[in-house]
Structures are given as C-alpha cells and as structure tokens.
Structure 1
Amino acid sequence: MTLYSKIVGTGSYLPPKRVTNDELAQQLAKKGIETSDEWIFSRSGISARHYAEADVLSSDLAVAASQRALEAAGLQANNIDLIILATSTPDHLGGFPSTACVVQRKLGINNGGAAMDVQAVCSGFVYAMSVADSFIKTGMHKNVLVIGAEVFSRILNFEDRTTCVLFGDGAGAIVMTASKEPGILAAKLHADGSHGHILCVPGNVNDGAVAGNAYLYMDGPAVFKLAVSVLDKVAREVLEVAKVDAKEIDWLIPHQANIRIMQGTAKKLGLPLEKMVVTVDEHGNTSAASIPLALDQAVRDGRVKPGQNVMMEGVGGGFTWGAVLARM
C-alpha cells in the first residue's frame, strides 16, 4: 500500500500583547526614532503585531498552538511519535536542548518518540513539513506534530526602524498523519548560501559571551528582489511535480513578510488576490510561524475546506526557500 501524509489538524497561538503601528511609533519616538503608521503600512502592509512577555519562550507559544492542533486532529499528545519544530529563536542558547524536546516535555509526551528543531528561518515551516512528509511516506513515523514558533521581538534592534517594525511573535502547528489518500502532493526545497549576508543575525557566541551583533540585519531591497523571483519559480516546480495547473490552486498561503512580495507572487502565478490568505496586516512577519498561523486562521474561518489545494511557500535567511502543495 502506498503511504501518503495528510494534514488532519491545525492550531495557532498569538501572545495577548498586540502592538499597533501607532503604539510602536510612540515607543520609538522616545528613543528619537521617527516612524508612523503610514510609513510602516505603505512599505509592508503591516498594521499591528504581537509581542510575547519577557518570561514567555518559543516553546510556550508552541505548546499552546500544538494543543489546539491536537484537539482539531482528535489525537492525544502521546499519539505523536515525531515533533519537528521550526524556529530561529530557540529557548536555549546554542539550540540545545532543542525547543522540540522542550515542547515534548511540556506536552507530557513520554512514548519515546523523536523530536528535533529545523532551522531555515522564514522557510522553516515549509522545510519541516517536507521532512515530516518524507518520514511518514517511508513508514518510519505515523503521527507528526509540525510547528513553527518564534519570539522574534528578542532579536530586534529597536533603534533600526527598517527592521524592528516588521516582525512579531507567534506560533502555528499542524498534525500530519499517514493516509491512504494523497495529502501532500509535492514539495521542493532550495538554498543558496552565497546570499546569507542579506538577511542574518551576524553575531556568535565566544567564550560564553556574544561576539559581534546579535540583532537581526536585513538588506530589504536585496531580499525583496530575490524573494519575488524564487517564490514564483519554486511554486511552478511544485506544480509540475504534482501535475497540477496553477488554476487548480484554491488558496495561496505565502510566508507573511511583505504584502508587496505576496501580491507579486500571486500575480506571477496568475492567481487573483482573493485566493491569497493574508495575515501580515495583523501579525507582522512571524518568520517560521507565519504560514501555519495563516493556515489555521483560514481553516477555522471556513475559507480552507477539505479537498482543496493549498500552496504554501516561504523564503528566508540562509538563503532558503521552498514550497509545499497540500490537498486538505
């Protein structure tokens, strides 16, 4: 029997603290940084974002999103035999123990299943889905919890208005399980390390202390140009593998980074903007959490229905990019 992987439950969580553009502009003004709602929104499409409190970690957001995904899937935590968590803001310096292992403990999973983090920045959730799909198709794992969780507010320089206004915190999760029916129709992943310098956190740890700059750095124009190009190409690659026409895409869920990048991608694919799920206006860029956050919102409000084709794609620092076509 041919095994497939299928998404059977979605969940998401946003920290309660919502910060509008006006509120952020007022905070930045106290530091002598000038910005405004109009300046932020016109360049990004962002109106607000959520920030986690100081004592809240990526794992805490991940657990809340995972519990909702498990409930939607009708599964108990101990039914999960693999956790794959995408994050650029892990709970621990050095990335271990992995945030996936922390989530496993906090969910009370004690069945000896596997858990690991994936680091591909804003493409992380697409990477994690692809890994889960492969594990399920080989029969190695049956029920996989795939999570994107970020507290990006911790790595933002609030004296750099070109980056600090763009990002937010949150988590999204899905449960993928073995199925006799096709779910993940195709996936493609790519990376090009020669572009790593245009979006990065350039610092590192040396002798127990941070050496260099520990804040996020982004060359906005360079990222914009590369993102629009690669997102169109990888989406077409996935369609070709799946033998699906672009017109058969019911919903496009791109990484929620910038509304102009997202609109450019939809236009190149010949998709009406009404077929694109947009949450960047309220969430900002939540990196690896953005796609599952948007997917869960669209599932729960009834837009995404069983049997529909959903194209999910992301691009992030590294430079990484990828896409997954799923039949819900």
Structure 2
Amino acid sequence: MSPTILAIESSCDDTSAAVFKDGKILANIVATQAVHEKYGGVVPELASRAHEQNIIPVVSQALLTANITKSELNAVAFTRGPGLLGALLVGCSFAKSFALGLNIPIIEVNHMQAHILAHFIEEPKPQFPFLCLTVSGGHTQIVLVKNYLEMQVLGQTTDDAVGEAFDKSAKLLGLPYPGGPMLDKLAQTGNPNAYSFPVVNMPDFNFSFSGIKTSILNFIKNNTQANPNFIQAHLPDICASIQQALIQTLMKKLVLAAKETGIKEIAIAGGVSANSGLRQTMQEYANKYKWNTYIPAFQYCTDNAAMVVMTAHFKYLAGEFADQYASPDPRLRIAL
C-alpha cells in the first residue's frame, strides 16, 4: 500500500510543502521570500524568520489542495540538509512536532538526493545506473545513481558552486537579484563567442569556479575603466559568453564521466538545471554522444517539497525512518 506523506522543504529561502498519496504528488506549494532582493542575496537570519511566518500557511494550503486530513498521513518528511542552519531548523522542528502530535514516523531527506530523485516524479524516468549532474547555488556534483537510495559522488567542486558563479557574475554586471535567471535571459539574445573566459581543468571529475569568477571580475574592471558604458553596450554578448564558459566547464567533466563509466543515461538536477543554455546543450550532447538525457520539469528544478516527498516515499518503503533526536546538518553529504 502506498503511503500518504507530507514533506517540508526549508533549506534556503523557499518554504515548501507537498503531499504524496497513491503514487502521485497531490500538492506542491511554494512560498518565496522577496525580503532578500534589496540585499542582493539570501540573508540567513531573515530567511529563518520568513520560514517561521510561512510554514503553517504553506502546510495548511498543501493539505487543503490535496484534500487530505492530518489523520490520513502515514509520515512527515523534512529536509535535514545541506542548507542554511536556521532555515533547516524551522522545517525540522515543525516536522518533528507535527509528527509527534499525530504519532506517526518522521523521515529525514538529503536535499541533493531529493534533487536527483525529482526525476521520478514524472515520465520519462532514467534507468539505473545513471549519471546525474547536480548543479545549484551551493553544490556542483557528478553523482553515480545506482538505485533510489544508493548514490556515489564521482566529482564535485573544490571551491565555489556553478550557481554561485552565475549569481556573482550577474551581480558584477549590475543585474538584480536573483541574477542567474536574468543572466540566462539576456544570454539568449547574445553571441556566446564574443568574449573568451577560461574553462578550468581540474583533476578527475572535479570542478573549480573561483578562477573563472576572478577572470570575469578583471574583464569587467578593465573594460569599464576604458569605457564606462561597456557593460550597457555589450550586456547580452557578455552574458552569453559567461554562460557558455560555465556550461562548457560542466559539460567537459560530464562527458569524461560518461566515457569512463560507459553510462549513457544522463540527467541534470538542481536549480541551475532550469538554465536554458544548459538544457539546450544537454540536448545537443545527447545527439552527439547518443545519450538518453533527462531534465526535470522547471517546477521541480528549483527548491520544492515535491522532490522531498518523492525521496521520502522511497525511504518509507525501505523502512528508513528518523527519530526525535534528528537535527539539521548544514553540510550533510550524500552517503557513499
């Protein structure tokens, strides 16, 4: 019998709740936080306070949308990490209290594992084993996915995440927060070959983005000193060139991992997988290397509780439950 599960996601600046029943996502409610816009980035303390304000209305709306009563729930799931400690604490505390009041078990979920398992919400679904490029504001990884609950990180960033590189580049260009999506939008009308930025070559399947961020900073500084209107005059071309360099950095390692493992089932996940340039490049590489590629629907790329409840479903079936001593782990890793 398929369980009925409520899941809560609160790892960063989106408060989300989802309900799963009879093998389907019945509700996936997300409340975003506009409070961070004037700061140009997420302020952890403000994020925590906003989660406290949003979590009860979001959970109530999810249950109402799903037409589910609290007494029908079999478990409550929550994101344990990675993420912002204060933000995670709100979701974790609420989930444990809610489940304790209903006398039902709780399920802790790894945020990055959930991004990967978002691929199993809708068709088409990848076949095991597959490679997943997980790309977000905090993480950049190539993960070998052996089954629903067994995953191995083959490579990851040694410094900054690609999502952070997108956002920092956008900020340097004077684009409003969140800058990554705006950079992507401008890049669609620009020439990706107008300017050249370095594609850093790290050992094995690892990544590095600190060097390319420095080169972008120097590029902007040098050109604006020579011409104060340089950015405004060439903005789409600059965005397209930056985006191409970041995507090529990702794809170079993904191609290497696919060749060395012999796996042709290739997926992408995480907030940056919503980037139009990356999605298009994935399709091009699929044709070139005869990959079967999988890209989640846009609503399941960014942080959401649907991916958390999907992961919780598989953990419920495997009997993997947490206890009331479970606590947030901002640096939680995918278990090998």
TM-score by length of 1: 0.34
Over alpha carbons, which structure has the higher Rg? 2
More strand as a share of residues: 1
